[in-house]
Amino acid sequence: MLNINFSEKISKRKLLHILKKASRKVSVNDLMNASVFLNEEIKYMHKQEKKEYIRRFMHAFFMRLNELKNDKKRYEGSVDIKKLKELVDFMENKIKNSKSEKERSFYKIAAIVSIYATFVKEVPIHPLSTKFPGNLKIRYRKGKYLCPVKDKQKESPEALCKFCVAVQDESVL
């Protein structure tokens, strides 16, 4: 999907270039498919919560894709190739095992934005504005991103939390 050579050192700048190239291949149809897939995945959620969840999630997708496409910052340093390969393999497996084009579109976008957040920007996969049940949010305190649900989700085989730079918010246990 991303055509990354894991046998050599990868700078953040090079990874940004690769991700920008991939983001240009995300179509409006992909975004619509991802939205439909997300709606199907949460069909049993309460109607009002579902509407807000979809709005926030798709906003995060749009925001991160747009931010990536327009990112002109000159990032320094290289990425942890082992961890990057682990996330890329995880996402490629999700894409390969997708049961529909809608699901494939969702994971294609999720791969791009999660890799961008984690390895280029070094910020949580969920933006700081993301609300979790109980009106909890990711916070930034003393140089760390604190997530209210990290420990509850990182063992889930479906969750990206195990790759996220955020740590568990100890005030929410």
Domain regions of the chain by residue span: 1-122, 125-173
Query: In the 8-state DSSP scheme, what is residue 13?
Result: H
**Per-residue pLDDT tens digits of the chain, which is 173 residues long:** 788 999 999 999 999 999 999 999 999 999 999 999 998 988 888 887 787 778 777 888 888 999 999 999 999 999 999 999 999 999 999 999 999 999 999 999 999 999 999 999 999 998 887 777 788 889 999 999 999 999 888 778 888 999 999 999 999 87
Please report the pLDDT score of residue 33 as a whole number: 95
Please report the pLDDT score of residue 2 as a whole number: 87
Query: In the 8-state DSSP scheme, what is residue 163?
Result: G
Please report the pLDDT score of residue 122 as a whole number: 96
CB 131 within 8 A of CB 56: yes
Name 55's Cβ contacts closer than 8 Å, sequence gap at least 6: none
Please report the pLDDT score of residue 152 as a whole number: 86
